[in-house]
Amino acid sequence: MTEPNVTAPSRNQASPNVDANPPIVPSPGDRSLVTVSMRYAGTWRGWTRILLVLGIAVLGGAGAYWWMHRLPALPPGIASGNGRIEADPIDIETKFAGRVATLKVDEGDMVKAGDIVAEMDVKELTASLKKAEAQVNQARKSIDEALANVEQQRSLATLAEQEMERARALLPKGTISRQAFDQRQQQFEAANAALAAARFRVTQTQHALEAAQHDVELYQVNIADNTLVAPRDGRIQYRIANVGEVLPAGGKIFTMLDISYVYMDIYLPTEEAGRIKIGTESRILLDAYPDHPIPAKVTFIATQAQFTPKAVETKSERDKLMFRIRVRIDPERLRAHADAVRSGLPGVAYVRFDPKVNWPAWLQGNS
């Protein structure tokens, strides 16, 4: 009996029970993170341990960063609150309806009080001004004519008076009739009436001249008002209109920030707000400039609480009341650093309501 020919499988043939790509088995001594993850990748417990280790590492790093960068504790007598630097916005608007002719500035430009920022089309006003000026010239000529007429009427009145006086002297002698005397008297009265009318005409023409002059002044003022100027020193924040746009009366062209009135509003609880007074010394520390505290003063304290009802009697609820406190930077300091003034920067305001307490070293800067 012949034995079956059994041949060993070649290297290129894959055994049905053997994986062609066997898994990589880490050695027992390999303790790298990749190795550990590979060991536990197949189980939920392994993933949980990996995530736990990573979470502890992240939290530890964050805690170390906070500990290294945290600010020292405030001494008693100094309160603090978060806020943002704000500057008073000023809208530059048109006084009359019209078309925007030119824009002299753009967003971000610094302007000084009196600088021209925009001009409106004033062709119609210019034409009206010329008409009023022509009326002024006409009124002046009318006055000259009226004055000449007064002189003429005065001469006639003088002549009529002289003739009447002669007639009065001749009437008793019978040289002149009564009728002729009455005519002389009527001529004298008529001359005086004409003189009075001529003088009244002078008054009328003078009033007409004054009215025309007022019209000229009015048109000049209106033309000047169509040249928009910056009311204060500041920075152009928004440009709202473009050249060629027709705006109504009160149409807004620019919004600027008044750099002389920069402040931060914070909210403090009742116990601290009740000890603060107007003029209390303060410091502002911006997130963008953490090493440059800015001196300031309290200029406003709200009389009504925020966040909770106004009429609360229990002690626990009164402790939740928050009052708005406004801390303002000195205008002179702002003018000296006008280019660095920004609106919207977040930071912290510190208020020293106990004058006996010294500022901490990190809040004693003079920047």
Nearest by Cα to 319 from 269, 247, 246, 360: 269
The domain over range 78-88+259-363 is classified in CATH as 2.40.30.170 = yes
Residue 92 confidence (pLDDT) above 50: yes
> Helices 44-69 & 33-40, crossing angle to 10 degrees?
140
Task: Kindly indicate the confidence band of residue 292, based on its pLDDT and cuts at 50, 70 and 90.
Answer: confident
204-258 pLDDT per residue, tens: 889 999 999 999 999 999 999 999 999 998 999 999 999 999 999 999 999 999 9
Is pTM beyond 0.85? Reply is no
Beta bridge partners of 98: 247
The CATH number that domain 90-120+227-247 falls under is 2.40.50.100
Domain boundaries, the chain: 32-57, 78-88+259-363, 90-120+227-247, 123-225
> What confidence score (pLDDT) does residue 213 get?
93
